[in-house]
Homo-oligomer: A and B are copies of this chain.
Amino acid sequence: MPENRLWIGALGGVTEIGKNMYFIQYGDDIIVVDCGSKFPDESLLGIDLIIPDISYLLAHPDKVKALIVTHGHEDHIGGIPYLLKQLNLPLYASSLTLGLIESKLKEHGLLRQTSLHRIDSESILDFGSIKVSFFRTNHSIPDCLGVVFDTPEGTVVHTGDFKFDMTPVNRQYPDIHKMADIGKKGVRFLLSESTNAERPGFTPSERLVGTHIEEAFQKADRRIFISTFASNVHRLQQIVDAASLTGRKLALLGRSMVNVVGVSQELGYLNVPDGMLVEPAEAAKLPPHEIAVLCTGSQGEPMAALSRLANSSNRQMEISTGDTVLLAANPIPGNERNVARIIDNLYVLGAKVIYGSRSELHVSGHGSQEELKLMLTLMKPEYFIPIHGEYRMLHHHRLLAEAVGVEGDKIFLLKNGELVESAGGVVRQSGRVPAGQIYVDGLGIGDIGNVVLRDRRQLSADGILITVITLSQSDGRLLNEPDTISRGFIYVRNSDKLIEEINQLVVATLEKLNQADLGQWNVIKQTLREALGKFLYEKTKRRPMILPIIIEV
């Protein structure tokens, strides 16, 4: 590829929600924006986490000048430790974002070796051919940045995640005048996030949630339990304020809640009155109307605090009749059933539960259609690349861009890895770099592929049947009865007769093989798999994995 060209691409984050990772390259300078992770869906059995494929960056380690992180959510920072283990590069982020990344790097033993740079919306960075500046945006976590890249092929703007909250809880107002200036000077390419592109209107201010939290605190006469996303520091602040107003102490349950409250207090993003925070053990002794408990688990995670409270299996606190439980978060698609189960259990305990969209205890952190149009109007880009969304969201964002005047053929809906190129002012979609899903399972990164997942799927549905046959080394004769064992296939107490029939079938199948076949273990195994598979499917309409093992003595 010639040097004097600009490339824009995503290594993650388009046609998906999660693992955001974008890059801008001009000549020998590559700047990476974000490095997120994503949670696996239920088809990826046993997988803990998905991270982006960074092989393009690993192939050009000298060109990668910086990782800029727009904000501290997992889908933007979750992949950073895995990236830094393979590629040591300087990292730039705002104060809170950096605080959250540091806890992560500490866990992975990477803190010392990494060059961390604190920036804010006024910072200006110079990476050779690319100059970088920033603007402040609002989102469901403080300290979010949009990024402006000045390149020889014009200005590229990456919005990060945003909404336009004109009454933000922490008074970090959106840099709307700066955005207008950027747009006025001329934006060649806009990359803007698409999460709520299907949603009409304007997302309500986070303050709306505060009003309803305060109301609920005023009404409650016994203990209050409230669960939300730990990273939503604005909401945590409003919970602290409501507790303060109603004279309640606050206890924290859940590791990530303790961590985020600690980091954001330390960095000045969360103001908690002195003496308000108490340990759960201490809280348990206070009168019910003097305590509020802030806990993790708003997505129904089975091991998190709220789920344990609902099952009465939390060791430190318990929920009893008349307590109020607030779910200040909507379930993310896929989590509805787990959350519903928790609500059921809370009602069984006699709690008053306040939940669901009608309770207005949650607003989105992402701008709706009118806000996406406002960003497009402020930036008035020549070219538009909708990012951060599944295909239908990108599609709807395209329609919004067309509605405010961007020409249809200047909008690119990219897949991960696909590139938009600008060379001497000529823009086109061109070429691609490797991109994909890297699975993290335990300590293994990328060692689980389709074969292992296919096996796990078969094992999960119908289990396994193992039959061990012992052959004589001298004449290939069967020395023992076959030894047949199953797991996850059929209840053992019911299977004695079936196992006996299987063993008979194994012996009969081996007897039918001729001497030449008996020398070839692959032929024996394949023949046994087919015979047993057919027999078991007819008997049970199930297809366990069948694993013949040959032992030669």
Q: Which residues of A are in contact with B by a Cβ distance under 8 Å?
A: 15, 41-42, 45-46, 198, 200, 333-334, 336-337, 340, 343-345, 347-348, 353, 356, 358, 390-392, 395, 441-444, 447-449, 451-453, 455-457, 459-464, 466, 468, 470, 479-480, 483, 485, 487-492, 494, 539-542, 545, 547, 549, 551-553
Interchain CA distance A453-B333 in the complex, whole Å: 25
In the complex, chain B residues whose CB is within 8 Å of the CB of A198: 356
Q: Which 4 A-B pairs have the closest CB atoms?
A: A442-B541, A460-B460, A459-B459, A455-B488
Report which of B41, B358, B395 forms a contact with A347, defined as CB distance below 8 A: B395
Contact present for A459 and B464 (CB under 8 Å): yes
* Set of chain B residues within 8 Å of A463, measured between Cβ atoms: 46, 452, 455-456, 459
- State whether B356 touches A540 (Cβ < 8 A): no
Residues of B within 8 A of A46 (CB): 460-463, 488, 542
A461–B45 touching, CB < 8 Å: yes
Nearest CB in chain B: distance from A469 CB, A:
9
In the complex, A532 Cα to B444 Cα: how many Å? 18
User: Is A464 a contact partner of B461 (Cβ separation < 8 A)?
Assistant: no
Q: Which B residues are in CB contact (< 8 Å) with A455?
A: 463, 487-488
A480, B479: Cα distance in complex, Å: 15
How far apart are A253's CB and chain B's nearest CB, in angstroms?
Answer: 22
Interchain nearest-CB distance for A476 vs B (Å): 15
Known: A470-B551, A485-B547. 15 other contacts (CB 8 A): A46-B460, A200-B358, A334-B336, A340-B390, A340-B392, A442-B540, A443-B539, A444-B542, A447-B490, A448-B491, A459-B487, A460-B460, A468-B468, A468-B551, A487-B545
Q: Which residues of B contact A553 (CB under 8 A)?
A: 470, 479-480, 553
User: How near does chain B come to A208, taking the closest CB pair, in angstroms?
Assistant: 19
Q: Which of these, B443, B447, B480, B488, contacts A456 with CB under 8 Å?
A: B488
Q: In the bound complex, what is the Cα–Cα distance between A542 and B462 (angstroms)?
A: 21
Q: Is the CB of B347 within 8 A of A392?
A: yes
Q: In whole Å, how far is A326's beta carbon from the nearest beta carbon of chain B?
A: 15
Contacts of A459 in B (CB 8 A): 456, 459-460, 463-464, 487-488
CA distance A456 to B488 in the complex (A): 5
